[in-house]
Amino acid sequence: MTRKIAIIVGSLRANSNSERLARAVAAEAPKHLAFDIVPIGELPLYNPDIDGATPPVAWTAFRERINSADAVLFVTPEYNRSVPGALKNAIDVGSRPYGQSVFSSKPAAVISSSMGPIAGFGANHHLRQSLAFLDMPTLQQPEMYLGTVTDWFDEAGAIKSADTRSFIGKFAAKFADWIELTAPRAGASKAA
C-alpha cells in the first residue's frame, strides 16, 4: 500500500539545508512512501476573523494537501531556540478552526538541523510540544538532531557521505514502520 507523506519544511529559503534534508529522506525512503513537499511561504498569518465560510485560498489548499496525507514529516532549522515563524503559522492554519484540525491522529516525525553543533535541539522539542497537543503520534527513535549540516551536501544538493545517506535511509524505514503502526484505520475520523 502506498502511503502519502506530506513534508513541511520550516525554512523558506530556496535550496535550504532543511529542504535538501527533506529531499534526501524522500530519496532514501522505502519505495511505498510517496512524498509531497507542501509549501508554507504563501500562507497568510492565521487570523480567526478571516477563517469563515470562505477562508483564504492558500489556507484551503494547504489544509487539503495535509488532509489527504497519511502522515507528516517536519524538517526544520532552529530559529532563536524554537521553530521558524512560518512553520508555527502553518501549524496554526492546519489546526483551525477548532475541532477541524487536519493534523489530528496523523503519524509524524521531526528532523531538526543547524549549521552549528546544537543541531536544532530547541526547535525539535518546541515542535514536539505542538504535535502532542495536535494528537499526532510522533516517532521517538531514532532522534534526528542534525548538526553542522552545511558541509553535508555537494553542489547538486545531494548528501556526499554514504554513511549519512544510510543513516537517513534507516530513519525513513523506521518512520515507514511507525506509520503502519499508528496510522488511523479506514473509516476513522480525521478531525479532532
Maximum Cα–Cα distance for the chain, whole Å? 50
User: What digits encode the pLDDT tens for the residues 91-134?
Assistant: 999 999 999 999 999 999 999 998 877 778 889 999 999 999 99
The total domain count for the chain is 1
Q: Please, which residues bridge with residue 31 across strands?
A: none
User: What digits encode the pLDDT tens for the residues 136-182?
Assistant: 999 999 999 988 888 899 988 899 999 999 999 999 999 999 999 99
Q: Tell whether 173 is covered by a domain.
A: yes
pLDDT at 185 over 80: no
Q: What span, in angstroms and rounded, lies between the C-alpha atoms of 126 and 135?
A: 15
* Residue at 33: amino acid letter: L
Q: DSSP per residue over 23-90, as a string? A: HHHHHHS-TTEEEEE---TTPPPP-GGG-SSS--HHHHHHHHHHHT-SEEEEEEE-BTTB--HHHHHH
Provide the whole-model pTM.
Answer: 0.93
Q: Tell whether 188 is covered by a domain.
A: no
Q: Tell whether 187 is covered by a domain.
A: no
Q: Tell whether 189 is covered by a domain.
A: no
